[in-house]
Amino acid sequence: MAKRRRYSESYLNIGFTTLLANDGIEKPQCVLCHTILSAEALKPSKLKRHLETKPPEHAKKGLDFFKRHEQCLKSQRLDRSGLFQQQSTTILEASYEIAFEIAKQKKPHTIGETLIKPCMMKAVNLILGEASAKKMQQVSLSNNTIQRRISKMSMDVKEQVLTEIKGSPLFSFQLDESTDVSSCSQLLVFVRYINSGDIKDEFLFCSALETTTKADDVMEKVSTFFQEEDLQWENVCGVCTDGAPAMLGSKSGFQSRVKKLAPQAKGIHCMIHRYALASKTLPASLQEVLESVIKIVNYIKTKALNTRLFKELCKDMNADHEVLLFYTAVRWLSKGNVINRVFEMKNEIKLFLETQERKDLVVHFEDEAWNKRIAYLADIFDQLNKLNLKLQGRETHGLLFQDSLRAFVSKLQNWRRKTNLGNIAMFEKLCGVMDESHIQLDQFLKDEITEHLQSLEKEVERYFPELSQEQEALVRNPFCTELDVSSIADEIQDEYLDLRNDSSARDLFKVKSVTQFWCGMYQSYSKISMIALRVLVPFASTYLCEAGFSTLVNMKTKNRNRLDVGDEMRLALTNVRPRISKLAAEMQHQASH
C-alpha cells in the first residue's frame, strides 16, 4: 500500500493549508488560488513548485501573509472545516446548554426567549461590545426550539442509560404513582444497576396512566417499556413499591405479576413507608394530646386574620418562630414538626388564645399533665424524625436500613429500661418541663412512656422481619472468621473459600465500600458475587419516586397544566449528562440559497 502523507503546520509557510476530503483523506489546498492538489502532492518540494508558478514576489511573503489568506479561505468554506459551520456548531451547543439548564431548573420553555436571552444580550453588549452581542443574537432560544432541544437531549440520556442497563448482569427498579395538578396520574420508575465498578441509581421513565391505576395498568406500562427497549425480565432482581393493594396484592398485585416474569426478583415494601406505619402507634392519652395540638393549630392557621394577628404577636414577643405548621398525615415528618413547633411556641400560643378568649383551648396549657405529655411527644417524635431522615437519600440498600433500625430498637429497649428506673435524661424537653415545675416523674406518666416505647419496639419488629443471618453476614464481611462455611450453598462453597483466602481481595475489601467490593469481585468470583449483589442491588425504599413527585409539583403547575413532563423529568432527575457536542454535530445545517 502507498504511504499516506499527513499535513504539517509548516506547510503554511509555503502557502498551503489542508482540506479533509469526503473519503477522510487530507489534501493540500493553496491559500492563494484555492487549488486542491492530490494527496500524493503533500510534499514540500511539490508544494514549493506550485508556489513558484505564482508571481515571484508571493514566494517571498512571510507567514502572516499566508495566515490572512488561509483565514479568508476558511470563511468561504461551507463544510465543517469552514468558519461558518464551526460558528454554527458553537451556537447550536450554546442553545443546547441553555435548554439543558432550563430543564434542570424546571423552568418554563418561554424563559429562554423572554428572560435569559434579553439579559444575555444586555450583559454582552455592555461588557464585550455590540459586535459580540450580534453573535449572541444568533443563539436560538424560542419556545419551540427549547422544546426540541430538551426532547433530543432526553432521548440521548435515555439511550445512554439503557446501554448501561443492558451491560449490567442485574438491575432492580422502584415505582410509584401520584396525581398531578391536572388530575393526571403519573407513574415514575427509577432503576438501579451495576456500572463502572459500583451500583448506580438512575431515572428510567415517566408515563401517564390515562384511566385507572390498577395493577394491570401499571404492569402494562412497565411491560411495554421493557419490550420496546429490549430489557430482559430475567435480569430483574428486585422491585420496590409502596404498600397500596394494587402493588402488594398477593394474587393480582403488581409485585406478584412481576414475580411471574422474574421468579428470582425480590418484592420489597418500601422501608420508609413501613417505618412511618410503625411510628403511628400511640396510647390513648398521648393520642388525645396529639389531637388537641392539631385542633389548636387548625384554629390559628385556618383563618387568615388569626394567622396575621398571631404573626404580629410573635414579632412583638421576639419569638424564634412566627408561624405554626399544618399537620399533614401523608408527610413523613409532619407530626413531629408540628408538635415541636407548638412546644417551642407554647407561651405565644397561650397568650394568643387568651386574647381570643378561647378558654377551651387555653386550659390545655394550664394542665401540668398535658404539658409533660406534649414535651415527651416532642422528644420521641424528634428521635423518630431523625431516624426517618437517616433512611432517606440516594444510594442506600437494605443492609444500611437494617443497621439503622436495629440500632433504634436497641435504643428503645435502653430507654424503656432507664424509664423504669426513673431516669429520663434522654428526653431533654420533658426534663426541662419537670425542672421548671420542680416536679418528679409520676408513676402514671412513667407507665405511659414505657407502654409507648414497648409498643414502638413491637411494631418496628413486626414491620421489619430480619434478613437471614447467614446471608447477611456473608454480604457484610466474607472474610469474617466466625462465618460458617457449611451455612453457604454447596455449589458455591469452593468459590467462597477461594475468595476467603485471596489476599488481594481482602486488601480491596478494606479500602472499598461493600457495593464497590462486590461489583469488583463479579468477574473473578461470579457465583458468590451474584448472591451478594442480589442483596445490594434491590431498592430498599421508594425515596427517589417521592423526591421525583416533588420535582413534578414544581414543574407541572397551573400555568403549565398541559405539559407532557416525560422529557423534562428525565433531564431534571438524571445524573447522566447529554452528549451535546454529538447532538450539535448531527444536526443538519441550513442549506445555502
Structural domains in the chain, CATH included, are: 9-76 (no CATH), 86-269+542-593 (3.30.420.40), 278-463 (no CATH), 470-536 (no CATH)
CA-based nearest residue to 316, from 353, 360, 348: 348
- Is residue 59 scored above 70 in pLDDT? no
- Is residue 198 scored above 90 in pLDDT? yes
Q: What is the pLDDT of residue 97?
A: 94
Q: Percentage of the chain with pLDDT > 70?
A: 93
Please give the Cα distance from 352 to 310 (Å, whole number).
Answer: 7
E strand or H helix at 341: helix 334-344
Q: Read off the pLDDT of residues 293-339 as tens digits, 9 standing for 90 and up.
A: 999 999 999 999 999 999 999 999 998 899 999 988 888 899 999 99
Please give the Cα distance from 123 to 118 (Å, whole number).
Answer: 9
Q: Read off the pLDDT of residues 92-126 as tens digits, 9 standing for 90 and up.
A: 899 999 999 999 999 999 999 999 999 999 999 99
In Å, what is the CA distance from 216 to each residue of 188, 223, 236, 264? 16, 10, 19, 21
For the CA atoms of 311, 312, 317, 318, the dihedral, rounded to the nearest 10 degrees, stands at: 70
- Is residue 592 scored above 80 in pLDDT? no
Q: Read off the pLDDT of residues 376-430 as tens digits, 9 standing for 90 and up.
A: 999 999 999 999 999 998 888 889 998 899 999 999 999 999 999 989 999 999 9
The chain-wide mean pLDDT, for the chain, equals: 88
In Å, what is the CA distance from 362 to each residue of 261, 309, 349? 60, 17, 9
User: Would you place residue 572 in the very low, low, confident or very high pLDDT band (cuts 50, 70, 90)?
Assistant: very high
E strand or H helix at 310: helix 304-316
User: Would you place residue 443 in the very low, low, confident or very high pLDDT band (cuts 50, 70, 90)?
Assistant: confident
Q: What is the pLDDT of residue 390?
A: 92
Q: What is the pLDDT of residue 415?
A: 95
More confident residue, 499 or 585: 499
CA-based nearest residue to 587, from 229, 145, 164: 145
Q: What is the pLDDT of residue 305?
A: 94
Burial class (CB in 10 A: 0-12, 13-18, 19+), 336: buried
- Is residue 470 scored above 70 in pLDDT? no
User: Would you place residue 442 in the very low, low, confident or very high pLDDT band (cuts 50, 70, 90)?
Assistant: confident
Please give the Cα distance from 57 to 342 (Å, whole number).
Answer: 92
Mean pLDDT score, 487-497: 89
- Is residue 167 scored above 80 in pLDDT? yes
Half-sphere exposure of 75 (CA within 13 A, CB side): 6
Q: What is the pLDDT of residue 1?
A: 44
Q: What is the pLDDT of residue 12?
A: 80
Q: What is the pLDDT of residue 82?
A: 46
Q: In this structure, what DSSP letter does residue 183 have?
A: S
Q: In whole angstroms, what separates CA 508 from the centre of its chain?
A: 28
CA-based nearest residue to 516, from 536, 492, 499: 536
- Is residue 577 scored above 50 in pLDDT? yes
**Phi-psi region at 129: left, alpha or beta (left = phi > 0; alpha = psi -120 to 50):** left
- Is residue 291 scored above 70 in pLDDT? yes
Please give the Cα distance from 576 to 570 (Å, whole number).
Answer: 10
In Å, what is the CA distance from 201 to each residue of 165, 270, 394, 396, 397? 11, 16, 8, 10, 11
Q: What is the pLDDT of residue 244?
A: 87
Q: What is the pLDDT of residue 42?
A: 76
- Is residue 84 scored above 90 in pLDDT? no
Mean pLDDT score, 211-220: 92
Q: What is the pLDDT of residue 49?
A: 79
Q: Are 242 and 543 within 8 A, CB to CB?
A: no
| Least confident window among 84-98, 193-207, 507-521 | 84-98
Q: Which residues contact 440 (CB under 8 A, 6 or more apart)?
A: 434
- Is residue 83 scored above 80 in pLDDT? no
User: Grid coordinates representing 495?
Assistant: 468459590
Residue 19 in 3-state DSSP? strand
Q: What is the pLDDT of residue 77?
A: 57
CA-based nearest residue to 160, from 103, 91, 73, 229: 229
Q: What is the pLDDT of residue 332?
A: 87
Q: Are 15 and 35 within 8 A, CB to CB?
A: no
User: Would you place residue 591 in the very low, low, confident or very high pLDDT band (cuts 50, 70, 90)?
Assistant: very low
Please give the Cα distance from 450 to 251 (Å, whole number).
Answer: 40
User: Would you place residue 30 in the very low, low, confident or very high pLDDT band (cuts 50, 70, 90)?
Assistant: confident
Residue 470 in 3-state DSSP? helix
Mean pLDDT score, 464-489: 78
Q: Percentage of the chain with pLDDT > 90?
A: 61
User: Grid coordinates representing 29?
Assistant: 489546498
The three-point CA angle 417-423-427 to 5° equals: 100
Which residue reads 438501579 in cell numbers?
A: 192
Mean pLDDT score, 262-291: 92
- Is residue 544 scored above 70 in pLDDT? yes
Burial class (CB in 10 A: 0-12, 13-18, 19+), 376: buried
| Bridge partners of residue 546, in order along the sequence | none
CA-based nearest residue to 505, from 486, 487, 523: 523
- Is residue 146 scored above 90 in pLDDT? yes
CA-based nearest residue to 140, from 149, 127, 131, 152: 149
Q: What is the pLDDT of residue 468?
A: 46
Sheet (strand 171-179) strand order: 198-209, 185-195, 171-179, 236-241, 266-269
Please give the Cα distance from 536 to 515 (Å, whole number).
Answer: 7
**Around Cβ 190, how many Cβ atoms within 10 Å?**
24
Please give the Cα distance from 256 to 499 (Å, whole number).
Answer: 35
User: Grid coordinates representing 141?
Assistant: 432560544
Q: Are 460 and 275 within 8 A, CB to CB?
A: yes
